Amino acid sequence: MNTIEATAPPLPLATPRPLMKPLDTIQQRVRDWAELVKPRLTLMVLFTVAAGFVLASPGFLDWSLFLHALLGTSLVAAGASALNQYLERDTDARMRRTRNRPLPAGRLAPRAALRFGVLAACGGLIYLSVLTNPLAAAMAASTLVSYVFAYTPLKRISAWNTLGGAVPGALPPVIGWTAATGTLETGAGCLFLLLFLWQFPHFWAIAWLYRDDYARAGLKMVPTLDQEGGRMTGRFMVQSCIALIPVSLLPVYVHVAGPRYFWIALVLGAMFLAFAGRFLLQPSQERARHVLWASLLYLPVLLLALLWDGPFLGLAGT
């Protein structure tokens, strides 16, 4: 795959903001610290952790252990997000959609973000190790290391960084599973594969929508290197969605879910594939956005179907 030079023009300097009142300043600081931990991403992580924990707990849920798993993982996720933004503050300053984040905008000091990221991540790992089990902590540590020290720098080196980024994105349900059982089992592997493949069309849709921003920042993404007007990106999306369909059915064959989940997964997979196929036939911003929204619908509905027709609720096979 040949690289191409970024052609997007530099962004103009941000317009200075007017002085804020003390209350406004406090509210802005709260918003800045909240943005540093990427709350929407953290909530998605916690949802997949919860799904893994519940699926590994047929018939009985240890609520205390469940809450400890969520709290410990939330600390690790918050720390990872802060460290990611610390490392990417220079490239974020060159991207339209990220230039107003707290670090590139200068509203938070990099040293404060670094200190918070290290303390939150390390505190979360210790918390998980002590109050869940060492294996869950090890899975969380693998997520942290692969996200911060593999995926983050890979974005400057290779367009295939999504392969590296899909690993930490697929590990949270494994954290939940191991927190509940203390073991790695086939069901955890199925969840890992499902989330691993789901991320490719999801992130390629985002990268297509913001390809000029990524090019301006010097980040190498498949859509920024796509010299076929989106056809290459579309083919990769379609291939990922095709592979996702049989993988999404694996929970049925390892007795994590029942027949109702089977049909829901099949319909959702066909829908996701259809949107990716539409983008391949005619790449556009609108159709990339449709793929993105399809991905955001697909994952939570699929995981809810797993919980609904899974062994925890005693519905599988009824």
Higher pLDDT among residues 318 and 255, named by residue: 255
Which pTM value belongs to this model?
0.86
Domain CATH for 176: 1.10.357.140
Condensed to tens digits (0 to 9), the pLDDT of residues 39-50 reads 888 999 999 999
Residues 103 and 233 in one domain: no
Residue 287 falls within a domain, yes or no?
A: yes
On the 0-12 / 13-18 / 19+ scale of CB atoms within 10 A, 30 is exposed
In a domain, 20, yes or no: no
Choosing from 135, 161, 184, the residue where a domain stops is 184
Q: How confident is the model at residue 24 (pLDDT cuts 50, 70, 90)?
A: low
Sign of CA dihedral 71, 58, 180, 296: negative
Model confidence at 303: pLDDT above 90: yes
- Cβ neighbours of residue 312 closer than 8 Å, sequence gap 6 or more: 54, 55, 57, 58, 59, 61
Q: Domain limits at 228?
A: 186-318
For the stretch 126-176, pLDDT in tens is 999 999 999 999 999 999 999 999 888 888 888 888 888 899 999 999 999
Q: In which band, very low, low, confident or very high, does the pLDDT at 11 lie, cut at 50, 70 and 90?
A: low
Domain assignment present for residue 17? The answer is no
What the block records as the tokens of 63 is 């609520």
- Rounded to an integer, what distance in angstroms lies between the CA atom of residue 273 and that of residue 304? 20
